[in-house]
Structure 1
Amino acid sequence: MKLTMLGTGNALVTECYNTCFALSDDRNHFLVDGGGGNGILKQLKAAGIDWRDIHDIFVTHKHMDHILGVMWVIRVIAQALKRGAYEGEVRIYGHKKVLCILDDMSHMLLSKKETEFIGKRIIFVPVSDGDVYEIIGHKTTFFNIHSSKTKQHGFTMYLDRTVKLSCCGDEPYNETERMYVQGSKWLLHEAFCLDSEAERYAPYEKHHSTVKDACTAAEQLHVDNLVLYHTEDSDIRSRKARYTAEGKQYYSGNLYVPDDLETIDIS
């Protein structure tokens, strides 16, 4: 089982791609968000992930830097279905409002021959707090993160019967998530900027957290491995070193600050 960070930046980055990732078990891939454009296709290609092997996609929420890339994946799959070049179906998970947006955009932007697959082999799967599905062979529970901006869900995936990975979406950990997140071996959490640069980037105005905030939460939740993403990109070359240095002051586990296309073994 591996995690591939297709993108690691926030909405307005230009030095990396918007945050999205894939969880892969052999040739089975679970795509989480798609970034803000057709750059998702380039990132998948560079990562060696064939979009024809993606049959499960989760969209955390409606913001442009998360949902628009998914439209491009829907488009290439729909075109492949039309040619008979895609096997099976693709399931797209998200809360009802997110799925309504995807459905509306599909019918406005794609051809009738492409949209005829929606509901047949392009399946929208609405999720609510506590809903459980099997995704790429693993039990996965979706949960409402109780966003203060727009409705958003995260998820917990069981890598085996007892080991779990949790994703908090792109807002700070909320205590309502504790029943799902606590004790996770892996936690994926946004960190908009360094705590030492909070005045410069104003993360709290954007409902985001600092590296210190994310690391403090992970320490309290007894998480073994913490992955930080959804960052600013002012100095992308030194980001890993800077974020790791601050984070290690507040978190004693294994801290990852991945670059775009970096792969982490989460077995």
Structure 2
Amino acid sequence: MNITMLGTGNALVTECYNTCFILENNGQLLLVDGGGGNTILHQLKVAGFNWMDIRHIFVTHKHLDHIIGVLWMIRMICQFMNHGEYKGEAYIYSHVEVLDLLREMAKKLLPEKDSRYIDDRLHFVEISDGRKMDLIGCETLFFDIHSSKAKQFGFCMNIDSKRKLTCCGDEPLSPFCEQYAAASEWLLHEAFCLHSESNIFDPYEKHHSTVKDACEKAEALGIKNLLLYHTEDKNLANRKKLYLEEGQKYYTEKLWIPDDFETIEL
């Protein structure tokens, strides 16, 4: 299994794209979130993916920097279904609030000749806390992250029979959800900024964490690989170096600070 970061930034970045990524397993693709616009199509192209090969999309929550790119994917899928060029079925997974919002926007913004494929060949699949299903050939468990803002879900995915990956969305891993992350080979966790710059970026008032916070959490949970995303972009050229320098003071396993378009074998 590989992960390709299409975007690594928070909601307000301009030097990179909003956080979203592709999980690839034996040729099957799962898009997790879509970023904040039709730049998702550019990111997919540059990363070497054909958007028409994507059959599975998971949306963590309704914030603009996660959902609007998915609306563009819906437009493209439905339009090319109507043209006879998008073959087969497609699936969008999220909780009911997100699915209702996407359905309403698509029905109002797209012509009926395209939107008629929603709930026909483009399936909206409702998830719930603790629900398990097979995604791209891997058993996947969804969990409510207990967000204090918009309702949001993360997931645990079995990479193979011995290893699992946990994605906790774009907020700090809640104590209620530590049971899911425990014993994970990989933890995908947000890190809004360096702890040394928390007075500049105010991560806590936005319910985000610093590199130090995320690393201390992963260390306590015994995570083998910690991947940080959803960051600020004010010093993007040096982000990897600076985040590694701070994070490795608090985390002794493998720390990953990917750039947009970076692919990592899990």
Classify the TM-score, shorter chain: over 0.9
Q: CA deviation digits over 1:27-63, x for unaligned, max 9?
A: 2100000000000000000111111111110000000
**Unaligned stretches of 5+ residues in structure 1:** none
2:170 aligned partner: 170
Query: What SS does structure 2 have at the residue aligned with 1:237?
Result: helix
**Partner residue in 2 for 1:54:** 54
What is the correspondence of 1:73-84 to structure 2 with a 5 Å cutoff? 73-84=73-84
Moved over 3 A (4+): none
- One-letter code of the match for 2:196? S
Task: Look up the equivalent residue of 1:262 and give its one-letter code.
Answer: E
In 2, the alpha carbon distance for the partners of 1:255 and 1:75 equals 37
Contact 1:36 1:68 in 2 (8 A): yes
Give the match for residue 247 of structure 2.
247
Partner of 1:18: 18
What secondary structure sits across from 1:87 in the alignment? coil
Q: Which residue of 1 aligns with 2:236?
A: 236
One-letter amino acid of the counterpart of residue 102, structure 1: L
- Once the two structures are superposed, residues 147-180 of structure 1 have per-residue CA deviations (whole angstroms, 9 ceiling, x without a partner) of 0111000000001122100001000010111221
Cα distance, 1:190 vs structure 2: 0.2
What amino acid is the match of 2:222? H
Q: How many residues align?
A: 266
Which one-letter code corresponds to 2:123 in the other structure?
A: I
Q: TM-score by structure 2 length?
A: 0.99
How do residues 129-140 of structure 1 correspond to structure 2 at under 5 angstroms? 129-140=129-140
Q: Distance in 1 between matches of 2:51 and 2:245?
A: 36
Q: CA deviation at 1:248?
A: 0.2
Q: Does 1:183 align with 2:176?
A: no
Partner of 1:92: 92
Tell me the alpha carbon deviations over residues 37-90 of structure 1, each in whole angstroms, 9 at most, x when there is no partner.
000000000111111111110000000000000011111111110111112111
Check the 8 A contact 1:8/1:229 in 2, yes or no: yes
Paired with 1:44 and 1:104, the residues of 2 have a C-alpha distance of 25
Q: For 1:104 and 1:228, locate their aligned partners in 2 and report how far apart those are by CA, in whole Å.
A: 33
Match of 1:155 in 2: 155
1:124 alignment partner in structure 2? 124
The structural deviation recorded for 1:26 is: 3.3
Distance 1:92 1:222 in 2: 32
2:256 alignment counterpart:
256
Which position in structure 2 is the counterpart of 1:197?
A: 197
DSSP-derived class of the 1:34 partner: coil
Asked if 2 retains the 8 angstrom alpha-carbon contact of 1:227 and 1:256, the reply is yes
Instruction: Quote the residue 1:144 is aligned against.
Output: 144
Structure 2 alignment gaps of length 5 or more: none
In 2, are the aligned partners of 1:27 and 1:53 still within 8 Å (CA)? no
- 1:195-217 Cα distance to aligned partner (Å, 9 max, x none): 00001100000000000000011
Contact 1:10–1:231, Cα closer than 8 Å, also in 2: yes
What percentage of residue pairs aligned between the two structures are identical?
57
How much is the aligned-residue C-alpha RMSD, in angstroms?
Answer: 0.7
The DSSP-based 3-state class of the residue aligned with 1:128 is coil
Q: How does 1:214-233 map to 2 (within 5 A)?
A: 214-233=214-233
- TM-score of the superposition, structure 1-length normalised? 0.99
C-alpha offsets along residues 226-252 of structure 1, whole Å, 9 cap, x if unaligned? Answer: 000000000100000000100000001
